Structure 1
């Protein structure tokens, strides 16, 4: 898949011209006349900060110009990212249920993993079915793998739950992280689609609400 301008989202043939190793010139977008992707020359920390700030340009760089289908290891990347996502989600449920005195550690772990699997299955089924019905995706981003990778990658804020291994936080912090994850999913879905803000909000809220309901029922 061709790279895209991070400002306007239009396709562009090349993002830069390389004259020699370490010597490149960034190209401008023919549509908006801005540098197509300034993140190429930025430090990783700048990209991370812009992702946390929910800047669409950072999401376009990551989804279109880094994690695109021309990557020969796309399926491997998708599997690893999905596995890590599931692990973080299961750990979140473990935090919420670890005060339970009725179950042993092993049974609690198996129950947590099962709840996470079922909850995410429902979550992604809702996303896949309704996104195909109500979204108008950018060309090249319409398959279930694209939606899956978009949501998994944009849920990077789940990694902050690991900080609870080191520092003590109230369990309510998990829900705050979930709110940030949902808002990040919203920005990412808007980037890969040409749908309205209202449609994206409705789908994100509906999918996350279904996941929360399933986890609550299985608790």
Structure 2
């Protein structure tokens, strides 16, 4: 690790993934190829064990909704390509909506080239806009509720970052929808439940003083408002086309 990376590392504050307290650094680099993992000054455990882990391990623990993995991603890892991930999730959401809107979309397997042809359809971009509106509504309502109820000062930027990243569960429904099973709606519902659980876990990590009931209520309210908004917009378009 070069000197510039060391300076950037020392300028930040990191969270212990076990207790959530602040620490100055994750490890020490002795500039001779020797790295010593730092221990938390509060709980005496390793500050962040994931700095030596493969990304696959981190993803698996995040799928299991472990707070340690969420703290690593939200606090101790430099977020790169966050907006690319958001764009991919919106495309996945739009493609899922497009498939479910088609008659008999779940009764047979789709052609391998169906996703390519879907990119040429106007409906995909309409659903992309709809997915974006839903996401903005969800994030706005959740942040507003947390900011109004939480006793500690929460940074809206951090909350937005955490909520956006915790939506990664939306990508899980794509294989099930592409397989064309008769249970596509069930898989979509399960993925939404998982996304809600991941949102709750992200808020608990970013706002530890916020009671879990408040987190659950805020997330459910955000998703309900987004769903109602989506249905209202779809009804407006359908009435306009009649």
> What TM-score comes out, normalization by structure 2 length?
0.76
**Partner of residue 49 from structure 1, selected from 29, 36, 60:** 60
Preserved contact between residue 85 and residue 152 of structure 1 (Cα < 8 Å): no
- The answer on whether the counterparts of 2:95 and 2:124 sit within 8 Å (CA) in structure 1 is no
Instruction: Specify the alignment match of 1:98 in structure 2.
Output: 102
Structure 1: distance between partners of 2:177 and 2:96: 11
Runs in 1 of length 4+ with deviation above 3 angstroms? 20-23, 104-107
Within 5 A, what are the aligned runs for 1:24-173? 24-67=35-78, 77-99=81-103, 106-136=121-151, 142-143=155-156, 145-164=157-176, 166-169=178-181, 170-172=183-185, 173=187
Change (3 A) 1:24 1:151: same
Judged with a 3 Å threshold, the aligned counterparts in structure 2 of structure 1 residues 123 and 25 are, in CA distance, closer, same or farther, namely: same
Q: Aligned-pair RMSD on alpha carbons?
A: 2.5
In the TM superposition, what whole-angstrom CA distance separates every residue of 1:54-103 from its partner, at most 9, and x where no partner exists?
110110001000036xxxx6xxx3432332232222223223212299xx
Contact 2:16/2:22 (CA < 8 Å) preserved in 1? Answer: yes
Equivalence for 2:201: 187
Aligned residue pairs total 207
Structure 1: tracts of 5 or more residues without a match = none
Alignment gaps of 5+ in structure 2: 1-11, 106-117, 235-242
* Superposition pairs of residues 4-15 of structure 1, within 5 angstroms: 4-15=15-26
Per-residue CA deviations over 1:189-215 (Å, capped at 9, x if unaligned) read 100002011110010110011112222
Structure-1-length-normalised TM-score: 0.83
| Cα distance in 1 between the residues matched to 2:201 and 2:132 | 24
The separation in 1 between residues aligned to 2:32 and 2:76, in whole angstroms, is 20
